[in-house]
A = this chain, B = another copy of it.
Amino acid sequence: MSHAIRPETRRGRPPAGQSTLSRQAILGAAMDVVDGKGVEAVSMRTVARVLGVDPKSLYNHVENKDALLDGIAGLILSRMVVPDSCGGLREDLTAIARAFRGAALAEHPRAARLVLTRPVESLITLEPLEVALAAFLRAGASPEVAVHCLRTMLAFITGTLLREAEAAFTLALSDPDMATERQRTLEAVELPSVRAAAPHLAKCDHEQEFDFGLGLLIDALECRLG
């Protein structure tokens, strides 16, 4: 994951076979920046600095900054390991959902926003979709309904992971002290249901929420399809 720093700047075409610069190297360096300092720290200049290269050189391999960001998102998704189908709708969907969560969040937590928030180069990610669609079809869905089911699942997962990445609306706070303070605030409010739910609103076990929602959704799908 570390990338060599060039000892000195040099002008003109690099000696044959020595060009360290490539789209792949650039994406790797960009991933390093994301993992180390977050997405906001990614700039053509910081990425070039990691590689020991002039920022403008990047434009020989990457269209622009937006394409670079898309490239990172694509790279992460392409590393998603799709588990083999094992027959049951519930098992298959759970496995895919967890695989997606692993790729988008566990491996590169600081890149989650990027993966979830950018329309990614599509063909990279077809295999996971295939497995999910196959599961729906096998459960008796028409192709049209299977796509609806897929999109519902995907929306839920996206929203949940975005919350987990602290990039979406929540009342919950991850810091325990602030969470209890938040609870006090919510208990002092005039809205009765909010007040009753205050302890649960103030904190959030992401793992548990993920499982709850997923279970609920799969129940509904099984019910509608079978």
Stretch at the interface among A21-29, A41-49, A50-58, A121-129: A121-129
Could you pull out 15 A-B pairs where Cβ atoms are within 8 angstroms? Answer: A113-B117, A123-B185, A125-B169, A144-B197, A148-B213, A151-B160, A151-B163, A151-B209, A151-B212, A151-B213, A155-B157, A157-B159, A158-B162, A216-B217, A216-B224
A212-B152, A224-B216 known; A194-B118 Cβ under 8 A? no
Stretch at the interface among A9-17, A30-38, A130-138: A130-138
Q: Is B130's CB under 8 angstroms from A194's CB? A: yes
Considering only residues 180-224 of chain A, those with a C-beta below 8 Å from chain B are 182, 185, 189, 191-194, 196-197, 199-201, 204, 208-209, 212-213, 216-217, 219-221, 223-224
Could you say which of B127, B155, B185 contacts A159, with CB atoms under 8 Å apart?
Answer: B155
Q: Is B119's CB under 8 angstroms from A117's CB? A: no
Is A167 located at the chain interface by the 8 A CB criterion?
yes
Q: Is B144's CB under 8 angstroms from A200's CB? A: yes
Is A64 located at the chain interface by the 8 A CB criterion?
no
Q: Is A119's CB under 8 angstroms from B169's CB? A: yes
Q: Is A122's CB under 8 angstroms from B171's CB? A: yes
Is A81 located at the chain interface by the 8 A CB criterion?
no
A162-B158, A169-B158 known; A193-B151 Cβ under 8 A? no
Could you say which of B133, B189, B213 contacts A197, with CB atoms under 8 Å apart?
Answer: B133
Is A88 located at the chain interface by the 8 A CB criterion?
no
CA distance A41 to B120 in the complex (A): 22
Q: Is B216's CB under 8 angstroms from A152's CB? A: yes
